[in-house]
């Protein structure tokens, strides 16, 4: 098994070799730019791992792995416009550095580039691979739309939230793993199980993200702790708190949510204290564990020796005890 | 040969049967909406014609024909945002009727739906068809970017303009025809010739559009006559006038172009009069004819009996003598 950091390095090198035309500069430079900002390259690394898991040649999986990374960054480019975000990974977003039209059109071109890369697989698996990619792309669009709707919506329940993060985040992990599995020669059943592993792991991963926003170590967590609280983001923690609070606590919580004028530190402290009183962290950890268990059960059911799967299990474990 | 209006009807019926999920409504309703606004369905009709030309089964070509129509409307949805256009074919644009984020995301989903439809071809031609689709999509993005740049650019020359309209408009006609040809069983050489026919015809078609903007019959032309002139759009006519005018005429022309405050009717009349003095209409017709000749030469070279190709020739002739 190639180590995660080596896989990430392989992706980083391959990203650098993606050579887009010089002209039109405003179409292609933003693609190179957003890809150069980096990130952890987890999605393409998962694709390579899945290929490796079934004894496939990692080199054959590099273009589709890049496809997943290009696709992921296309979604970031367009999401940043929709969220009006000035920064991404500490750097200017594309629509900010250039302008909004550049962000839209360059993103469009990037999605097409993703398709071109994804097509670089054997004819034997071209259609199933493209079908997974299509399904994944549609799900991500649906997830993003639902996420935007949540901002305007008062009656979001936890089930809706879990479905939203499954669509917006988790299916890309599942899709990457399943495509890697097909390239590696897995049969349909094992490929589906690995998809399930990725999807459930993805939901657990997002729940972990929700938890870290409140309970992460500010030294290690890359973002401002409490950012979700300040923005009234409907995370698992907030929805669970609204669901389980008694009238007094709920009124207190809702009063903070409706405040237009507030001290951010006070708001984070107050809502965290409500979460603490309600034991929300434990609820979130329990939910996360449920999805992690589902993921591990799917992995276990794959028709391969346990020691061969240990690597992915360790990877998932690491992902879920991360502090950033 | 099925008549054009029957082909358009086939497309209209098939578009109506495209059933998108009810939810998320703001993702899928805009797709149904923009497709329902109509348009002439020329691109998908060309795809069906090409399939028919080589004796293929039109029914097998319907999903890819829809793919071209869905793709074309995706580009309109995003272009309308970039152009800040409130209306399209007399109806509210998507970003106007909903909002900008809906326009971006729904467009993204639409591009993916285009890919799903385009994949509905035999395994035998799946890869070449998808490659043409990818190439076409990239070209359209490049063309749109160059078109936007032209607005800011002072030194646009006719050659750049012709390349822009080739990328933004003409390649879709070429791509649609080539895909139809492959579905119909054409060999590579004939498919390439039909691509060339569509590409050159597409350039001629756009030049005709430029001419109609100024010289079209206001009764028959769907848009405001002189719209390009009012907006200082760098059409073939304007670029040719700037290129051929003597100093006096050029100064007069540039003075109109730089006016911020003007009566639209006066401006259209004045610039049209300059065009008339310079004989620009004839230059544009000559250029259009050159591309039309190229198109017909490519059609002629296709290895089929002349009478079989007459229908496409008549279609192209009709297209280029249209008044709207």
State residue B1's pLDDT score.
Answer: 66
- Write the residue in B82, B107, B131 that is nearest to A101 by C-beta: B82
The residue of B101, B132, B135, B151 whose CB has the most chain A CBs within 10 angstroms, and thus the best one to mutate to test that interface, is: B101
Residue numbers in chain A where pLDDT is lower than 70: 1, 221-223, 322-324
Spans of all domains in chain A? 1-185, 187-324
Q: Which residue of B has its CA nearest to A81?
A: B101
Closest alpha carbon within chain B to A99:
B82
Out of B104, B111, B149, name the one closest to residue A81 (CB): B104
Interchain pair A142, B112: CB under 8 A: no
Overall fold of domain A1-185 = Farnesyl Diphosphate Synthase (1.10.600)
The angle subtended at Cα B80 by Cα B77 and Cα B83, nearest 5°, is 155
* pLDDT at site A218: 76
Q: Which residues of B touch A81 (CB under 8 A)?
A: 101, 104
Answer whether B131 sits within 8 Å of A119, measured CB to CB: yes
pLDDT tens digits for B271-290?
A: 999 999 999 999 999 999 99
Q: Which residues of A touch B111 (CB under 8 A)?
A: 108, 111-112
A145: nearest CB among B24, B113, B146: B24
**Cβ neighbour number for residue B39 with a 10 Å cutoff:** 15
- pLDDT for B217 equals 82
Write the pLDDT tens digit of every residue in A249-270.
Answer: 999 999 999 999 999 999 999 9
**How far is residue A10's CA from residue B78's CA, in Å, rounded to a whole number?**
35
Per-residue pLDDT of B32-69, as tens digits, reads 999 999 789 999 999 999 999 999 999 999 999 999 99
Cβ <8 Å between A101 and B115? no
Cβ-Cβ contacts under 8 Å, A109 against chain B: 138, 141-142
Whether residue B24 is preceded by a cis peptide bond, meaning omega within 30 degrees of 0, is yes
Least Cα separation, residue B18 to chain A (angstroms): 16
Q: Bridge-partner residues for B88, per DSSP?
A: B91
| pLDDT on residue A236 | 98
In 3D, which of A235, A25, A224 has the Cα closest to residue A150?
A: A235
Q: Say what the pLDDT of residue A225 is.
A: 81
What gap in Å lies between CA A69 and CA A114, rounded to an integer? 8
The alpha-carbon gap from B164 to the nearest alpha carbon of chain A, in Å, equals 11
Q: The tokens of B23 are what?
A: 């939810």
Q: pLDDT, tens digit, for every residue of B106-115?
A: 999 999 999 9
Distances (CA, A) of B59 to B55, B62, B183: 12, 5, 10
From B145's Cα to the closest Cα of chain A, the distance in A is: 7
Q: What is the mean pLDDT of chain A?
A: 95
- Closest by Cβ to A141, choosing from B105, B126, B148: B105
**ipTM entry:** 0.96
Tell me the pLDDT tens digit for each residue of B221-231. 566 789 999 99
Partners of residue B145 in chain A, C-beta under 8 Å: 24, 26-27, 105
Evaluate whether B1-185 and B187-324 have a shared fold: yes
Q: Are B143 and B110 in contact (CB under 8 A)?
A: no
Q: How far apart are CA B45 and CA B53, in angstroms?
A: 12
CATH superfamily of A187-324: Farnesyl Diphosphate Synthase (1.10.600.10)
Distance in Å, alpha carbon of A165 to nearest chain B alpha carbon: 14
Contact B38, B69 (CB under 8 A): no
| Cβ count within 10 A of residue A162 | 18
Q: How far is B234 from chain A (nearest CA, A)?
A: 18
Q: Tokens representing B310?
A: 């007459």
A129-187 pLDDT per residue, tens: 999 999 999 999 999 999 999 999 989 999 999 999 999 999 999 999 999 999 999 99
The three-state (H, E, C) secondary structure of chain B, written as one string: CCCHHHHHHHHHHHHHHCCCCCCCHHHHHHHHHHHHCCCCCHHHHHHHHHHHHCCCCHHHHHHHHHHHHHHHHHHHHHHHHHCCCCEECCEECHHHHCCHHHHHHHHHHHHHHHHHHHCCCCHHHHHHHHHHHHHHHHHHHHHHHHHHHHHHCCCCCHHHHHHHHHHHHHHHHHHHHHHHHHHHCCCHHHHHHHHHHHHHHHHHHHHHHHHHHHHCCCCCCCCCCCHHHHCCCCCHHHHHHHHHCCHHHHHHHHHHHHCCCCCHHHHHHHHHHHHHHHCHHHHHHHHHHHHHHHHHHHHHHCCCCHHHHHHHHHHHHHHHHCCC
């Amino acid at each position: 098994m190639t180590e995660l950091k080596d896989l990430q390095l392989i992706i980083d090198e391959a990203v650098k070799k993606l050579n887009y035309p010089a002209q039109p500069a405003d179409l292609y430079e933003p693609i190179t730019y957003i890809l150069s900002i980096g990130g952890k390259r987890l999605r393409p690394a998962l694709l390579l791992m899945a290929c490796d898991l079934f004894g496939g040649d990692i080199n054959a999986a590099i273009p589709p792995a890049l496809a997943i990374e290009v696709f992921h960054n296309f979604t970031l480019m367009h999401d940043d416009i929709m969220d009006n975000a000035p920064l991404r990974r500490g750097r200017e977003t594309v629509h900010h550095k250039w302008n909004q039209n550049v962000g839209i059109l360059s993103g469009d071109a990037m999605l097409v580039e993703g398709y071109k890369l994804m097509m670089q697989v054997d004819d034997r698996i071209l259609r199933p691979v493209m079908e997974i990619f299509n399904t994944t792309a549609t799900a991500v669009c649906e997830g993003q739309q639902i996420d935007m709707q949540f901002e305007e919506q008062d009656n979001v329940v936890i089930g809706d939230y879990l479905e939203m993060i499954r669509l917006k985040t988790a299916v890309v992990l599942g899709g990457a793993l399943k495509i890697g599995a097909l390239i590696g020669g897995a049969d349909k059943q094992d490929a589906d199980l690995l998809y399930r592993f990725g999807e459930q792991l993805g939901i657990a991963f997002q729940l972990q993200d929700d938890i870290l926003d409140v309970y992460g170590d500010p030294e290690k967590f890359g973002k401002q702790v409490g950012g979700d609280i300040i923005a009234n983001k409907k995370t698992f923690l907030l929805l669970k708190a609204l669901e389980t609070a008694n009238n007094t606590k709920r009124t207190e919580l809702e009063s903070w949510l409706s405040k237009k004028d507030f001290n951010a530190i006070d708001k984070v402290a107050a809502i965290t204290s409500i979460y603490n009183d309600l034991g929300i962290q434990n609820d979130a950890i329990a939910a996360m564990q449920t999805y992690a268990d589902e993921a591990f059960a799917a992995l276990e059911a794959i028709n391969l020796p346990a020691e061969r799967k240990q690597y992915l299990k360790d990877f998932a474990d690491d992902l879920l005890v991360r502090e950033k």
